[in-house]
Amino acid sequence: MNESSFHVVIDAVRDVASGIREFTFRRADGQPFPLYSAGSHVVVSVPAGERPRRNPYSLLGDPNERMSWRIAVRRQEPSRGGSAWLHEQARVGDRLDITAPMNLFPLISTARSHLLVAGGIGVTPILSQARELARRGADFEVHYAWRSPAHAAYVAELEALAPGKVHHYDESQGVRIDFKTLFAGRRLGTHFYICGPTPMVSAAMEGGAAMGWPATNLHSERFASAEPGEPFDVLLARSGQRITVPADLSLLEALEQCGAPVNALCRGGACGQCETPVLSAEGELLHHDVYLSDADKQAGKLVMPCVSRFKGACLTLDL
Amino acid sequence: MYSTPVYKPLQWDPSGLRHILLVEAAHAGQISRLLDDLPSALSVIVVGRSPEGAELDLRVSVPCAVASDLEAGLDVLSAELERASMGCRLYLLGNEHLVWEASRRAAKAGLGEAEIQRERAGAPARPMFCVHCRTTTPDVTATVAPCSGCGRTLFVRDHFSRQLGAYMAFQIDAEEPGLIPEAEPFQS
């Protein structure tokens, strides 16, 4: 195995909030992990069923702790098997494969101030960013919204590393982030980072634009998850292969199984690596990614097979 | 060359909440088109004195800060930026030296590229950075010129540094002393 992926052993499992379970990994070969930058994620191969599920999870621990890495997994409903397996089956001592870290959500080192916002499980990359900013002695604030106190993971850890800088929003008490207020009056050179549910991220981006923030200062990480769906047929124009994507497999996974030449990185519709040209679509493309622009999605000439699906007679790809 | 700056006519950016305009008085007439539709939260800084600058002062409804020279104008700009918060847009009009000195102040205050617009005015003249003595000579009008710091005869390249706000310039006759090509005036 090369350094682009690691065999790991589950070292510890604990529940950090309702429906959120934390896993600590160590390398199976006993070697230290490489350093990674705040905001990085790994793709974990989960041996659920006969085929592995590969899901992206943020590394939330301290990069300087080289012997262990931590991720937190929220149980997805419905789950294609990945998060359900991790919640129900995974035990201390089990072995998994994970990729080397990738970072699609880095801190901007030239920023004069950082405004971090987490929604629910979106706290995981924010936790690693907050830790890094505290280490640098940077000017920053964290705003963390959760459904109820039972769902609030890592509150104590966040408080400990950024005392006095964390603001909590308890949605069960009707407390929500008012983004226009949050964006108002911030010093020049502030960068904004958010990880949370799609409606929250959209509201934040709209609030930022309304308060005059340029898009260059608004950063978000939105991993879509590959959700199960209806089976559909795909024709690969170059190879002439016809495949049926079953309900519990993503289009990307189905393409990989038949050996189609498609690259992938984040597997969460965020990085753009698996972008695939569509030649024809007798039906409707179900775009679930956050990578393609609305115009691209409308045009229907491209698809991100890691999370997107199709509904109709046949989808023809330029593969 | 990739680093060579591209200038565009200034245009009010409706996504901004607050706007700062810094203009070289002698060329203030060049942006009269902008004055029919002024944004509400606007500050104007005029560098130098000229009839065009005076007319600009009359036409904008807000009081203009008139600075006698560039250094004074930059200090007014820094003070404005000190009070500003995210949502601010900066508009610069003048020769390349003014535009980039102001850009450096803005960057120091935290403004990013998406928040600054630049329009060049006046005859083509470049700020030139001597790579030998690190002196910047403003307003050089041709490709070969003496350094105001060390006196070497320099060739001005198209390679531009935003950090330094100047074009890189190096000694033209280092290999064959005295062999100095004819200076060509900058066209743009």
Kindly determine whether residue A188 and residue B109, on different chains, have CB atoms separated by under 8 Å: yes
Run of H or E residues at B50: none
Kindly determine whether residue B115 and residue A215, on different chains, have CB atoms separated by under 8 Å: no
Return the number of other C-beta atoms located less than 10 Å from residue B23's C-beta: 29
Q: Does domain B18-120 have CATH number 3.40.50.80?
A: yes
Q: Is A244 left (phi over 0), alpha (psi -120 to 50) or beta?
A: beta
Kindly determine whether residue A184 and residue B85, on different chains, have CB atoms separated by under 8 Å: yes
* Cα separation of the two ends of chain B: 13
pLDDT of residue B95: 94
Distance between CA atoms of residues A109 and A257, nearest Å:
40
| pLDDT one-digit tens code per residue, B70-117 | 999 999 999 999 999 999 999 999 999 999 999 999 999 999 999 999
Distance between CA atoms of residues A184 and B14, nearest Å:
17
Run of H or E residues at A50: none
Distance between CA atoms of residues A248 and A80, nearest Å:
6
Return the number of other C-beta atoms located less than 10 Å from residue B17's C-beta: 18
pLDDT of residue B188: 75
Cβ(B15)–Cβ(A212) below 8 Å: yes
User: Strands of B18-24's sheet, edge to edge?
Assistant: B64-67, B42-47, B18-24, B88-94, B116-120
Residues of B whose CB is below 8 A from A217: 86, 112, 114
Run of H or E residues at B95: none
As a residue count, chain A comes to 319
Distance between CA atoms of residues A310 and B130, nearest Å:
61
Sign, CA torsion A240/A245/A251/A253: negative
* Percent of chain B predicted with pLDDT > 70: 100
pLDDT of residue A222: 76
pLDDT of residue A1: 40
Kindly determine whether residue B114 and residue A184, on different chains, have CB atoms separated by under 8 Å: no
Sign, CA torsion A125/A126/A131/A134: positive
Bond from prior residue into A78 cis (ω within 30 degrees of 0): yes
ipTM metric? 0.89
Nearest CA in chain B to A108: B112
What residues in chain A have per-residue pLDDT under 50? 1-2
Q: Is B126 left (phi over 0), alpha (psi -120 to 50) or beta?
A: beta
Q: Which residue has the tokens 């060509």?
A: B184
Position B9 confidence tier, pLDDT thresholds 50, 70, 90: very high
Q: Where are the beta strands (DSSP E) in A59-139?
A: 69-74, 95-99, 113-119
Distance between CA atoms of residues A4 and A23, nearest Å:
20
How far away is chain A from the Cα of B98, in angstroms, using its nearest Cα?
21
Check CB contact of B80 with chain A, cutoff 8 Å.
no
pLDDT of residue A3: 66
Question: For chain A, what is the radius of gyration of the CA atoms?
Answer: 20
Cβ(B68)–Cβ(B75) below 8 Å: no
Nearest alpha carbon to residue A71 among A115, A18, A110, A127: A127
Kindly determine whether residue A188 and residue B89, on different chains, have CB atoms separated by under 8 Å: no
Distance between CA atoms of residues A111 and A136, nearest Å:
12
Q: Is A13 left (phi over 0), alpha (psi -120 to 50) or beta?
A: beta
Nearest CA in chain B to A112: B110
Nearest CA in chain A to B13: A212
User: For chain B, what are the domain ranges?
Assistant: 18-120, 123-188
As a residue count, chain B comes to 188
Nearest alpha carbon to residue B136 among B179, B104, B112: B104
| Of the partner residues A112, A184, A185, the one whose CB lies closest to the CB of residue B110 | A112
Nearest CA in chain B to A192: B86
pLDDT of residue B60: 84
Spell out the long-range contacts of B73-78 with Cβ–Cβ below 8 A and sequence spacing 24 or more.
Answer: B73/B22, B73/B45, B73/B46, B73/B47, B73/B98, B73/B102, B74/B101, B74/B102, B74/B105, B76/B45, B77/B20, B77/B22, B77/B45, B77/B102, B77/B105, B77/B106, B78/B105, B78/B108, B78/B109
Distance between CA atoms of residues A7 and A28, nearest Å:
6
Nearest alpha carbon to residue B64 among B84, B88, B48: B48
What domains sit in chain A, N to C, each tagged with a CATH number?
A: 5-99 (2.40.30.10), 113-221 (3.40.50.80), 232-317 (3.10.20.30)
Check CB contact of A193 with chain B, cutoff 8 Å.
no
Q: Which residue has the tokens 């710091």?
A: B149
Residues of A whose CB is below 8 A from B111: 188-189
Return the number of other C-beta atoms located less than 10 Å from residue A231's C-beta: 14
Residues of A whose CB is below 8 A from B84: 188
Kindly determine whether residue B112 and residue A216, on different chains, have CB atoms separated by under 8 Å: yes
DSSP state of A66: T
Position B160 confidence tier, pLDDT thresholds 50, 70, 90: very high
Tokens of A16: 């950090």
User: B114, exposed or middle or buried, with CB in 10 Å at 0-12, 13-18, 19+?
Assistant: middle
Distance between CA atoms of residues A58 and A128, nearest Å:
9
Check CB contact of A179 with chain B, cutoff 8 Å.
no
Tokens of A28: 């199976």
pLDDT of residue A198: 86
Q: In a mutagenesis test of the B interface, which of A188, A190, A211, A216 is the best target, namely the one with the most B β-carbons within 10 Å?
A: A188
| Of the partner residues A188, A190, A214, the one whose CB lies closest to the CB of residue B114 | A214
